[in-house]
Structure 1
Amino acid sequence: MTTPLQVPGGPELVVILFIFLIPVAIIAGIVYLLQRGSNTGDEQRIEELERQVEELKSDAEPREESERTNDVERGND
């Protein structure tokens, strides 16, 4: 005589869910900590952006000066 297979109920499913979720949570936590700890790329990006801003400012200054000169020549103070 053989016994039929039984379908797991609520408590068994909760235990199975915890068994699978705990390793996933641990791996996700490790990945998060590694991502948060590697901020060296951000500093390099900030420095590059600051250089670009300074370059744009230096390019804009001659344009502003020429616009002021043109306004004065036209009499548009």
Structure 2
Amino acid sequence: MANDGKWDQAKGKAREAAGKLVNDKKQESKGKAEQRSGKVKEKANDTRDSAEGTVEGIKESFTDNDKKDKRKR
């Protein structure tokens, strides 16, 4: 899901804040790790979306070239 990264970041911020509130270093660390994981997921999703867009663009260019070739005949 595309929003997994953002969701993980939000959960991580909440966990980190809760850890700070009760002075629980372990929870703070888990929250920070969850935020980093969310950022990685978000970047991976962005990269996947970009790659899919590139592939679609290439497919369209070949389709457009085929149409132009057929018109020339």
Q: TM-score, normalised by structure 2?
A: 0.45
Structure ranking higher on relative contact order (CA contacts 8 Å, 6+ apart): 2
- Write 1 or 2 for the structure with the bigger share of helix: 2
Q: TM-score, normalised by structure 1?
A: 0.43
Bigger radius of gyration: 1
